[in-house]
Amino acid sequence: MERVNQSSLKVFNWLITFSFLCAVSILNAQSPVQIALNHLKNKATSYELNPQDVADMIVTDNYTSRLNGVSHVYLRQAYRGIGIFQANVNVNVNINDQGRVLSMGVACLPGISNRINTTIPSLSPSDAVAAAASAYNLGTPGDLRFIRQPEGDDREGILSNGDISQEDIPVRLMYVETDGQELRLCWDLSILTLDGSHWWSLRVDALTGQVLSEYDWMTSCNFGPHERDKDHAAEYFSGEITSPALQLYDLAPSPLLAAAPPPNSYNVYADPVESPSHGNRTVVSTPWNLTASPFGWHDDDGVPGAEYTTTRGNNVRAQDDQDGNNGIGPMADGGVTLDFNFPINLNQQPSTYIDAAMTNLFFWNNRIHDVFYLYGFDEPAGNFQENNYGNGGSGSDYVNADCQDGSGINNANFGTPPDGQNPRMQMFLWTGQAVTNFDVLSPGSIAGSYFAVEAAFGPALPTTPITANLVLVDDGSGAPTEGCNALINGAAINGNVALIDRGNCTFVSKVLNAQNVGAVACVVCNNIPGGPITMGGNSGAITIPSVMISQADCAAIRAELASGVSVSLSGSGGAVDRDGDLDNGIIAHEYGHGISNRLVGGGNNTSCLGNEEQMGEGWSDWFGLIMTIEPGDDGGDSRGIGTFAISQPVSGNGIRPAPYSTNMGINSFTYGDISNTGVISRPHGVGFLWCNMIWEMTWALIDQYGFDPDLETGTGGNNIAMRLVMDGMAFLNCNPGMEDGRDAIIQADSVNFGGIHTCLIWEAFAKRGMGFSASQGSSASRSDGNEAFDIPPYCTFLPVEWVHLSATAGSRNIAVNWEVSMEEENSGFEVQRRASHEGSFTKIGFVASKGKATQQVSYGFLDKDARVGITYEYRLLQVDLNGVSSYSNTVSAVITPDDQLLVKLVPNPAGDYTELRLDGNLTGGGTVRIMTLVGQLVLERRFDEVEARSGVTLALEGLPAGQYLLQVNAGGARKVEKLTVH
């Protein structure tokens, strides 16, 4: 096939993007940036700011989400062109709704002109770097020269690394607030230390060389306390959140002119397998998503054909770093056929299977990239790609993923610099224990490997397997299977493995009794739920090995004893380290730091999660959890983080204060625990509390919509949760707290789904203490928040249950119709309308309640004042008899200039088919599209006028049961209807 010229690709994609922006400009006379700046200036006094405080703002990021049409504009307060650190603003603008501002987060400083200490630095950039090197014991810098000369008011440039940093050193002037008063001129710079343990983002006083502020872009997954910069905490303003109708945008970017990449395969622990403890490796072929990785995973020039046969490509470079030098290391090579299938033996040290580990690391970095690309972490949002294929954002920033990194142990980390600079993921080994293999060989119904823990006494399991039958002991007592007395079934046990229940006597005595009748090994069953423990005791008389298994595993095995159970026991002969590259929950956790650091506050400001109540660790845990949900899982299950890495069973607690679970008996932590510094560390413990909240919400959505294992195009509750969490991050300003995070998710639901999950979200957060009356206080403090478990009044008592709301355009008016059920204590419905050119809803009528009812009740209202060609949004304000009110979702309609477009689906709900019945201007036919609730196209077809008049039959075989959105375009009009498939 002819190779496509890269410049042509860029022109093509630029044209597509330009066309989209032109369409937007028809709606908005002003750009999103101008709208944001004007809105900030108009609201300045509300934040005790004078006009001069907001007169000089720097745009750090600005992009429009392809998913919902919201423009995220991120600004930095400045004085004479020099930015002020952490004095940030974010404004969220709905370009699909005449540029209406949805919300704004403001962390600007008042009276800045009177607080500036100087405008002229006395230290040069190289002086500042030398001062920083001295403060952090990095040695004396070598040759520091400008690779990119300073330019602009802030003298932004790039210095060479000076042999103290792995990366060249960007520098620029900035102001930083000190002691809440003075704004001191400083040099803003970053240093990636040679050992890779820190990636310091520093503000060095431009007069004295003192380090005024530090932030470590390298985030580690161990859970001890970490010092972070706390210079300024943003307050997220949520008072302007509204509930526009659901807008539909394609998940996919503009298509690229490229052939599908050739097939290749990876032998990995593929999702949803969390680790080797949770499942087996499988060979996965062509796993990339062509929307996110249009040329596959081994391309970076945008021309068909892989550039690399190794674990390197556009999104990640996975490499061997056993020597810990953080340089360019060897990579696993799949050959010209790109088949990455390498052997692995977990009974040997990880260095023996590093190619297999690198393949798994490469796979998971790419997999996470592709999945969350579809949920908004794309090029304009600051994702990690070498080549952005003309889709915006800054390229040249694929992930450097270091496999079996030798510079540390029992840890992992991720360094996230601003967009356009390569992040680094370091995956370390974890100190292991001797491997215990306990396998049931037969019968086939229970055959497989089971987790077992060796006793602290007696000989270790041999490397040559012990293979024999498993026989339950009998000591003739009232508790015969506990083996506390001399065994009476010695003949059956002789030469076999004894199965013994825990309880009423020492482990040593149990094993000795079995040994005395000729047992070759012992398996002890735990008598309480949870994982097995290490059996203690001491006896030089014991000559056979023994292990413990869990109560649940024992019950399954015991049920088959009558059929004869054959088992095998063996050991590794010594401790074997665990490889973090195989713990996919940790990989997803680390990559998640990159996502949250670039989404919150914008991709060019990755120092936004250093405050006391920051949620970064919680989002990262959630990424690991959401990627590894398996069909059949339940929210009440116990999900420990890092159980494989720390040699725990899958039922273990992991490295957090408790496993994640919606069962309060397993995890009872709430927001109020944030001030308990003895139990809740920072940042990991604080993040743990946040993850509890969004994990509750995730399972509430799964309970409502079901779980869909298709992470890319699924329509389950997990897919909806992914959309809400991702968009929620993008709505946030720097230094948010958990109240801010909750409100941002509610806003994301308002924008994406018309607010239909509002009460569900409130209930989930209220369960964990972030209810309606809760307050975070300052996000810079852990001690001034208040938990609450209530929900808004409109969610507490529902006098009606909404069934249906629609708006249908006629030739001269628009009919609003709705149905409710279980109606009681209802005064009536206020009908509200907003035209596309208006900023707020206004009352246009009131319809009184028909009285208490247990069945569905229909209502209607005719808007006779609607004008032709204007899109109107309608919503209902339902008013209780006691005055409490709540809103419905929002619907829209427009009277077309030529004729109305009427759409009806029969049947709906539907089975294998539905018929689309149309009326209106159908000249030339039209198109019909069916999409999931998260905007993924699942069916599209054209129809001509003849078919449209007779009825368009839509085949639905193969579509999973659930709710969909059907969009019809005909005669210049568009209608959207809900379609339910049984």
Enumerate the β-bridge partners of residue 61: 74
Q: Which residues contact 757 (CB under 8 A, 6 or more apart)?
A: 701, 720, 724, 749
Residue with tokens 């006597």, as numbered in its chain: 505
The residue among 553, 558, 505 whose CA lies nearest residue 529 is 553
Active-site option among 274, 379, 590, 739: 590
Distance CA 843, CA 814 (A): 15
- The one-letter code for the residue type at 644 is F
How far CA 480 is from CA of 473, 489, 496, in Å, comes to 7, 10, 18
Enumerate the β-bridge partners of residue 71: 64, 93
- The one-letter code for the residue type at 559 is A
Angle at 498 between CA 497 and CA 499, to 5 degrees: 120
The residue among 801, 817, 377, 274 whose CA lies nearest residue 589 is 274
Distance CA 841, CA 823 (A): 25
Distance CA 569, CA 127 (A): 64
Q: Which residues contact 359 (CB under 8 A, 6 or more apart)?
A: 266, 267, 268, 311, 318, 332, 334, 340, 342
Residues in the chain: 982
Distance CA 161, CA 170 (A): 9
Distance CA 909, CA 45 (A): 52
**Angle between helix 758-767 and helix 684-705 axes, rounded to 10 deg:** 140
Distance CA 30, CA 73 (A): 13
Enumerate the β-bridge partners of residue 871: 894
DSSP β-ladder status, 82-94 and 70-79? antiparallel
Q: Which residues contact 504 (CB under 8 A, 6 or more apart)?
A: 479, 482, 484
Alpha carbon of residue 633 to chain centroid: 19
Enumerate the β-bridge partners of residue 185: 175
Q: Which residues contact 890 (CB under 8 A, 6 or more apart)?
A: 243, 244, 245, 754, 755, 873, 874, 875
Distance CA 410, CA 429 (A): 6
Radius of gyration of the chain (CA): 31
At residue 197, φ and ψ (nearest 5 deg) are -80, -20
- The one-letter code for the residue type at 406 is G
Task: Enumerate the H helices of 550-683 as residue ranges.
Answer: 551-558, 584-599, 616-626
Number of neighbours of residue 788 by Cβ within 10 angstroms:
16
Let me know if 590 is a catalytic residue.
Answer: yes
Distance CA 416, CA 210 (A): 24
Q: What is the 3-state secondary structure (H, E, C) of 867-896?
A: CECCEEEEEEEEEECCCCEEECCCEEEEEC
- The one-letter code for the residue type at 472 is L
Task: Enumerate the H helices of 735-792 as residue ranges.
Answer: 738-753, 758-767
With the CA atoms of 155, 157, 162 and 166 taken in that order, what torsion angle do they form, in degrees rounded to the nearest 10? 130
Distance CA 170, CA 861 (A): 62
Alpha carbon of residue 950 to chain centroid: 46
Distance CA 56, CA 499 (A): 76
Active site residues: 590
